[in-house]
């Protein structure tokens, strides 16, 4: 069984956005950062670098049930620990 080229099914006008570019546009917006160990941090993204290191202000750690564990203020999250970053504005419908 060979590899399937999925790009053939995309319309010609479709353009893919790079994740880092999308996240850089989210600077100064509230985000949720889920780590590989299931910890979740919520805060305002101050910056993000090419290594996906995330810099948050007004940051707090939350457990799986959504209860706040600790309020940190400012945090730096190392990029290799990040599972995903969700921009809070994207959650509103």
pLDDT tens over the chain, length 93 residues: 445 444 455 555 456 678 888 889 999 999 999 999 999 999 999 999 999 999 999 999 999 888 999 999 999 999 999 999 999 876 554
What local confidence, expressed as pLDDT, does residue 37 receive?
92
DSSP characters for 32-80? EEEETTS-EEEEEEEEE-TT--EEEEEEEEE-TTS-EEEEEEEEEE-GG
Tokens of 63: 């457990």
What local confidence, expressed as pLDDT, does residue 1 receive?
44
Q: Are 63 and 11 in contact (CB under 8 A)?
A: no
What local confidence, expressed as pLDDT, does residue 89 receive?
77
What local confidence, expressed as pLDDT, does residue 93 receive?
44
What local confidence, expressed as pLDDT, does residue 29 receive?
95
Strand partners, 68: 62
Architecture of domain 18-88: Roll (2.30)
């Amino acid at each position: 069984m060979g590899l399937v080229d999925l790009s053939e099914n995309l319309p010609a006008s479709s353009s893919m956005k790079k994740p880092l570019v999308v996240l850089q546009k989210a600077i100064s917006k509230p985000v949720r950062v889920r780590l590989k160990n299931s910890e979740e941090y919520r805060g305002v993204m101050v910056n993000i670098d090419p290594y996906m290191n995330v810099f948050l202000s007004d940051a707090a750690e939350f457990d799986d049930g959504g209860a706040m564990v600790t309020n940190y203020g400012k945090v730096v999250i190392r990029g290799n620990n990040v599972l995903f970053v969700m921009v809070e504005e994207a959650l509103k419908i």
